[in-house]
Amino acid sequence: MNDFSYLHTNCFEITVELSCDKFPHASELPEEWENNRESLLLFMEQVHRGIKGVVRDGDTDEGIPNAIISVDGINHDVRTG
């Protein structure tokens, strides 16, 4: 679903897997958190990188739905909501 969502809806989803154990025992969770806390927090900070804003009509200042945003060097256009 992650690839499909990104390519067809512009929704960027991620899946984080820490080990091969799909259902770790509850007693293992504190150690898993400590082992990965800093990496997860740094990853979450990345949401503030990049370009963001509202595409507005220059005359009316209204938002423009379905405007296509293209960035040179990135082969994936994005539509405004």
Reading the chain (81 residues) residue by residue, the pLDDT tens digits are 678 887 788 777 888 888 888 899 999 999 999 999 999 999 999 988 888 889 999 999 999 999 999 999 989 888 887
Tell me the C-alpha distance between 10 and 63, whole Å.
Answer: 18
The domain ranges of the chain are: 1-18+31-47+63-80
Could you tell me the two tokens for 12?
């960027």
Tell me the C-alpha distance between 16 and 41, whole Å.
Answer: 13
Active-site annotation, residues:
17
Is residue 31 left, alpha or beta, with left meaning phi > 0 and alpha meaning psi from -120 to 50? alpha
Please report the pLDDT score of residue 60 as a whole number.
Answer: 96
Output the pTM of the full model. 0.54
Please report the pLDDT score of residue 28 as a whole number.
Answer: 93
Please report the pLDDT score of residue 72 as a whole number.
Answer: 93
Q: Would you say 65 and 81 are in contact if contact means Cβ atoms under 8 Å apart? A: yes
